[in-house]
Amino acid sequence: MTDAPETATPATGATRSGFVALLGAPNAGKSTLVNRLVGAKVSIVTHKVQTTRAIVRGIATHDNAQIVFIDTPGIFKPKRRLDTAMVTTAWGGARDADVILVLIDAERGIKGDAAAILERLKDVRQPKVLILNKVDRVDPEKLLKLTATANEAVEFERTFMVSALTGSGCKDLLDFLAKRLPEGPWYYPEDQISDLPMRQLAAEITREKLYLRLHQELPYSSHVETEKWEELPNGSVRIEQVIFVERDSQKKIVLGHKGETIRAIGQASRMEIAGILEQKVHLFLFVKVRENWGDDPERYREMGLDFPH
């Protein structure tokens, strides 16, 4: 990774730092785990699969170490161009990392995407750590069997059993990572938890509210962009965002009866953004129909993805 800013804050004593990639099937709990380890909300969690489109990093400081998490998009069988780009980017991120965490939903077990990830990991040289997640839902005997099966398939340095939801096992994982990363100066200032620009984070928050409210009706093809960000003299901020959908019928769903739905989404998003910024927010949401945006190379660059050829 070479894109880190040169403004790191040195801590006293020998510092450690490095990049940790999270690989896992859709819905394995990657975003929940990053949020838990970082201790603040940086990556968006919904119960829909494949919601993490851009690579979002969370930064945890633990003991003397700065741990930069690369929250990869779900690794799954690509169907559309956009999906292919996400998979390529996810594996690229893994190869740049100092440590790879392989997250498996212990309730689902090792099948489908999880099995495919283990298979592909055989060619990856970086140190690998197995994380069995959602242990709050699984009995210990099954966990032991899963551990054995996964370790037969891939050489893992360690296995951790965690619940990203309750936090169980997460401190042990942080302790391990803090010691495992190489010695070196920190990449980011101490108080920084994500290098996702605020505009993009604000768009992610609106996207989360959109999915939480319309999860049944709305396809993944919808997308939110922050188009305007204006700091006003009275200390408040005016934000304009556009929700892009692919069809007129979807636009109607997002607007809702007499604009009820978009108003509720806007209100929930505004409150959360204001909480993070600690300033008053005026949020204006617009809905636009944009067909086939998934095939537009410009969109890929905006999301930090490679356009597949």
Ligand X SMILES: Nc1nc2c(ncn2[C@@H]2O[C@H](COP(=O)(O)OP(=O)(O)OP(=O)(O)O)[C@@H](O)[C@H]2O)c(=O)[nH]1
Measured from the CB atom, is 63 or 107 closer to ligand X?
107
Measured from the CB atom, is 8 or 44 closer to ligand X?
44
Question: What are the CA-CA distances from residue 227 to residues 48, 239, 242 (Å)?
Answer: 25, 8, 7
Any bridge partners for residue 101, and if so which? 22, 129
* Residue corresponding to tokens 């804050």: 9
Measured from the CB atom, is 29 or 58 closer to ligand X?
29
Which part of the chain contacts ligand X (CB under 6 A), choosing from 28-36, 78-86, 142-150, 271-279? 28-36
Pick the binder of ligand X from 15, 16, 17, 24 (CB under 6 A): 24
The answer to whether residue 261 forms part of the interface with ligand X (CB under 6 A) is: no
Residues 70-89 that bind ligand X (CB under 6 A): 74
Which part of the chain contacts ligand X (CB under 6 A), choosing from 29-37, 55-63, 234-242, 257-265? 29-37
133 is in an annotated binding site: yes
25 is in an annotated binding site: yes
184 is in an annotated binding site: no
Would you state the structure tokens that stand for residue 297, as one six-digit string? Answer: 């190379």
Give the residue from 1, 300, 39 showing the smallest Cα distance to 192: 39
Measured from the CB atom, is 137 or 280 closer to ligand X?
137
CA 41 to CA 34: how far, in whole Å?
9
Cβ–Cβ < 8 Å for 75, 91: yes
Q: Could you tell me the sign of the dihedral formed by the alpha carbons of 294, 299, 303, 307, in that order?
A: positive
The answer to whether residue 93 forms part of the interface with ligand X (CB under 6 A) is: no
Would you state the structure tokens that stand for residue 131, as one six-digit string? Answer: 């994380």
Which part of the chain contacts ligand X (CB under 6 A), choosing from 13-21, 42-50, 199-207, 299-307? 42-50
Pick the binder of ligand X from 15, 16, 30, 186 (CB under 6 A): 30
Which part of the chain contacts ligand X (CB under 6 A), choosing from 163-171, 178-186, 242-250, 298-306? 163-171
The answer to whether residue 137 forms part of the interface with ligand X (CB under 6 A) is: yes
Measured from the CB atom, is 163 or 226 closer to ligand X?
163
Pick the binder of ligand X from 29, 58, 93, 266 (CB under 6 A): 29
By CB under 6 A, the count of residues binding ligand X is 22
Site string for ligand X, 46-65 (x = CB under 6 A): -x-xxxx-------------
Output the known binding site. Answer: 24-31, 71-75, 133-136
In the complex, which residues of this chain contact ligand X (CB under 6 A)? 24, 26-32, 45, 47, 49-52, 74, 133-134, 136-137, 163-165
Output the known binding site for GTP. Answer: 24-31, 71-75, 133-136
